Amino acid sequence: MIPSELSSMSSSDRRQENMNMRGILRTGKQREPWQEFDLKKVIFDEVNIREYPQILGDNPAVSIGAPVTLGWTFQEEYSMNINFYEQMREPMRRESNRQLMMSSRQRIKSLMAAGYSLDNIGDATMDANHIKRQRMDSFHAAGWTSPLNFLNGAFKTTGSTLKAMDVLSVGDQTKKLVRRSSKVIFDGVAAIARPAMKKKSPSTPAC
If asked whether residues 134 and 154 sit together in one domain, one would say no
d(CA 53, CA 70): 6
Give, in degrees to the nearest 5, the angle at Cα 142 between 140 and 145.
40
Q: What are phi and psi of 48, to 5 degrees?
A: -95, 130
Ranked by mean pLDDT, the top range of 77-81, 91-95, 199-203 is 77-81
If asked whether residues 49 and 138 sit together in one domain, one would say yes
pLDDT at 131 over 80: yes
pLDDT of residue 98: 77
The pTM of the full predicted model, rounded to 2 decimals, is 0.46
If asked whether residues 107 and 161 sit together in one domain, one would say no
Domain membership flag for residue 1: no
Domain membership flag for residue 10: no
If asked whether residues 55 and 104 sit together in one domain, one would say yes
Among 58-72, 110-124, 170-184, the minimum mean pLDDT is found in 170-184
**Start-to-end CA span in the chain (Å):** 136
pLDDT of residue 77: 92
If asked whether residues 80 and 117 sit together in one domain, one would say yes
pLDDT at 54 over 50: yes
d(CA 19, CA 38): 30
Ranked by mean pLDDT, the top range of 40-44, 75-79, 199-203 is 75-79
- pLDDT average, residue stretch 82-107: 84
Contact, 67 vs 56, CB < 8 A?
yes
pLDDT at 107 over 60: yes
Domain membership flag for residue 6: no
Q: What is the 3-state secondary structure (H, E, C) of the chain?
A: CCCHHHHCCCHHHHHHHHHHHHHHHHHCCCCCHHHHHHHHCCCCCEEEEEECCEEECCCCCCCCCCCEEECCCCCEEEEEEHHHHHHHHHHHCCCCHHHHCCCHHHHHHHHHHCCCCHHHHHHHHHHHHHHHHHHHHHHHHCCCCCHHHHHHHHHHHHHHHHHHHHHCCCCHHHHHHHHHHHHHHHHHHHHHHCCCCCCCCCCCCCC
If asked whether residues 137 and 60 sit together in one domain, one would say yes
Supply the mean pLDDT for the chain: 69
If asked whether residues 73 and 162 sit together in one domain, one would say no
If asked whether residues 109 and 127 sit together in one domain, one would say yes
d(CA 153, CA 38): 54
pLDDT of residue 167: 42
If asked whether residues 134 and 151 sit together in one domain, one would say no
Question: How many structural domains compose the chain?
Answer: 2
pLDDT at 3 over 60: no
Contact, 93 vs 70, CB < 8 A?
no
Note down the domain range covering 186: 144-193
Last residue of a domain, which of 142, 158, 176?
Answer: 142
Contact, 55 vs 107, CB < 8 A?
no
CB burial class (10 A; 0-12, 13-18, 19+) of residue 77?
exposed
If asked whether residues 77 and 116 sit together in one domain, one would say yes
d(CA 186, CA 74): 33
If asked whether residues 168 and 189 sit together in one domain, one would say yes
Domain membership flag for residue 3: no
pLDDT at 1 over 80: no
pLDDT at 24 over 50: no
If asked whether residues 77 and 127 sit together in one domain, one would say yes
pLDDT one-digit tens code per residue, 7-23: 555 666 666 666 555 54
Name which residue leads in pLDDT, 25 or 125.
125
